[in-house]
Amino acid sequence: MHKYDKIMGGAGIGIFLVCVIMTVALGGTVTAGDGTPDDKGDEIDWTKYELKSNQITKSDYANENTDYDIEITIPEENIKSVTATLNWKDEPDERRIIRTLQNRPDSFGLDVAGPSNQSASASPATNTRDANGGTGSVTCVVDLDPDTDPYLNGTGKWVFTVKCGNCDDKFPRIGIIGENDPGNDWDLVIDYEYYVKKTSEGE
């Protein structure tokens, strides 16, 4: 809506790359089990399968202290893992004629709920402090343990909850009169892996 929207738009690709790098630096990675099943006798020989992957991305804006659910249906069978990474970049400092308002960090967390009661959660983390807009990232990983074909525990509706926490405001170095930071843009990147039986020899 405002100035920063234009800045964000123009720098979108750069921001995304920066955020990916920041994943390593900030990492709130949480791994959770899949709440799965019983063993069913003979193990599947997954070497006869190809491990494929797919990526889904979603971007939007969240108001502070608000949860935002994203429902994604994964149609494939034999899901091996689902990894969701939430990246964000706070708005840059606001430079005015006689002073600069420093934007203090925002906070985001992430919850994941799978179709067979799988769950994972990343505690809220704050972005770095940067005059050009600090970046942050949290990640949730759900590892499944497919043991049959078809294995359907990861197939169906997944819910990813972007949890926008406190978005700290913009303040001058000296003085207390600042400006509200009402929320933030975010990008959610969902990567999942699944086994597909090789169709013929050599393929």
Residues that bind Ca ion (CB under 5 A): 90, 103, 106, 167-168, 181, 184
Q: How remote is the C-alpha of 79 from its chain's centroid? A: 19
Distance CA 101, CA 61 (A): 22
The residues, ordered by sequence, that sit 6+ positions from 43 with a Cβ below 8 Å of its Cβ are 147
Nearer residue to Ca ion within complex by CB, 143 or 169:
169
Q: Which amino acid is it at 84?
A: A
Distance CA 41, CA 195 (A): 19
- Minimum distance, C-beta of residue 42 to Ca ion, in the bound complex (Å): 53
What the block records as the tokens of 83 is 């990894």
- Minimum distance, C-beta of residue 18 to Ca ion, in the bound complex (Å): 16
- Minimum distance, C-beta of residue 93 to Ca ion, in the bound complex (Å): 10
Nearer residue to Ca ion within complex by CB, 46 or 61:
61
The number of helix segments (H) and strand segments (E) in the chain equals 2, 12
- Minimum distance, C-beta of residue 91 to Ca ion, in the bound complex (Å): 5
- Minimum distance, C-beta of residue 88 to Ca ion, in the bound complex (Å): 8
Distance CA 82, CA 92 (A): 32
Nearer residue to Ca ion within complex by CB, 64 or 111:
64
Nearer residue to Ca ion within complex by CB, 83 or 184:
184
Q: Which amino acid is it at 4?
A: Y
Nearer residue to Ca ion within complex by CB, 90 or 193:
90
